[in-house]
């Protein structure tokens, strides 16, 4: 269930209020927790980012072992055709990872959208800062950090920006993660204490989630 329409102040990077913005309650006013949808979204992102780097060698991939260790009969020992048998130390591995593992999982679009709307709604209660625009006149980490301080962006900050100067200015700030408006994940929002987004970007985000 969504609450009534939501109005938030729009700030400049000097910290002054320059207006208000009305947010659609169906996107930013979700009151249900929807924990399963959020959990699935985070698990999906982590699984799809996983690389299949683990690999073991099967017996035909281990070098050596071409010569029969001893003759077939007469030694009193068990028959052995290769020292690279999986039964031997240094031999190949049976059923080990082959480097082609597929860890990909999926979540349907409606469930993912619900998860993103839910975590955004939680940020509205405390941790969402809307600014007039996320732009920088020049590349300056110091000035950009001061701007974030002016709007009280504290802790881990998720900055939605595409302006080149703003992105480069924020890239050296350890507590700031920069994402484009069309590349925001549920985990990014959950992992941030403060979400800083421009007025135009939040309207674009809202339109894509309706």
Q: C-alpha distances in angstroms, 182 versus 11, 66, 202, 206, 207? A: 22, 56, 11, 11, 11
Share of the chain above pLDDT 70, in %: 99
pTM of the shown model: 0.84
pLDDT digits over 66-99, tens only?
999 999 999 999 999 999 999 999 999 999 999 9
pLDDT digits over 156-169, tens only?
999 999 999 999 99
Domains of the chain, with CATH numbers? 6-50+106-209 (3.40.1370.10), 51-102 (no CATH)
Q: Is 60 exceeded by the pLDDT of residue 2?
A: no
pLDDT at 210: 86
For the chain, what's the residue count? 210
pLDDT digits over 100-151, tens only?
999 999 999 999 999 999 999 999 999 999 999 999 999 999 999 999 999 9
What is the rounded CA–CA span in Å between residue 4 and residue 19? 20
Instruction: Name, in order, each residue with C-beta under 8 angstroms of 76's C-beta and a sequence gap of 6 or more.
Output: none
């Amino acid at each position: 269930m969504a609450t009534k329409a939501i109005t938030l102040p729009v700030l400049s990077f000097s910290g002054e209020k320059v207006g208000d913005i009305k947010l659609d309650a169906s996107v930013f006013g979700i009151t249900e927790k929807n924990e399963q949808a959020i959990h699935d979204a985070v698990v999906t992102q982590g699984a799809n980012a996983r690389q299949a780097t683990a690999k073991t060698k099967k017996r035909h991939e281990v070098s050596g072992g071409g010569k029969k260790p001893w003759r077939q009969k007469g030694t009193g020992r068990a028959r052995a055709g290769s020292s690279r048998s999986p039964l031997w130390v240094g031999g190949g591995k049976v059923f080990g990872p082959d480097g082609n593992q597929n860890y990909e999982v999926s979540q349907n679009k409606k469930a993912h959208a619900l998860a993103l709307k839910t975590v955004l709604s939680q940020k509205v209660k405390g941790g969402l800062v809307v600014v007039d625009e996320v732009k920088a006149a020049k590349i300056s980490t110091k000035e950009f950090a001061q701007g974030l301080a002016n709007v009280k962006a504290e802790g881990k900050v998720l900055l939605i920006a595409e302006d080149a100067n703003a992105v480069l200015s924020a890239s050296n700030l350890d507590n700031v993660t920069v994402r484009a408006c069309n590349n925001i994940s549920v985990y990014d929002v959950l992992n941030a204490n403060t979400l800083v987004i421009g007025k135009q970007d939040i309207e674009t985000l809202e339109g894509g989630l309706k």
